[in-house]
Amino acid sequence: MYEMRIGTAATGSGLVWHVVGRDRSSALCGQSLREECDETDLHCLPCMSRFQELMRQPGAA
3-class secondary-structure state, position 43? strand
CA distance 39 to 49: 22
What is the value of pTM for the model shown?
Answer: 0.65
CA distance 23 to 20: 8
Confidence at residue 53, expressed as pLDDT on a 0 to 100 scale? 92
Q: What is the pLDDT of residues 32-53, one digit of tens each?
A: 777 666 677 878 888 899 999 9
**What sign does the dihedral 41-33-31-29 (CA atoms) show?**
negative
- Tell which wins on pLDDT, 51 or 2: 51
Q: For 9-28, what is the mean pLDDT?
A: 81
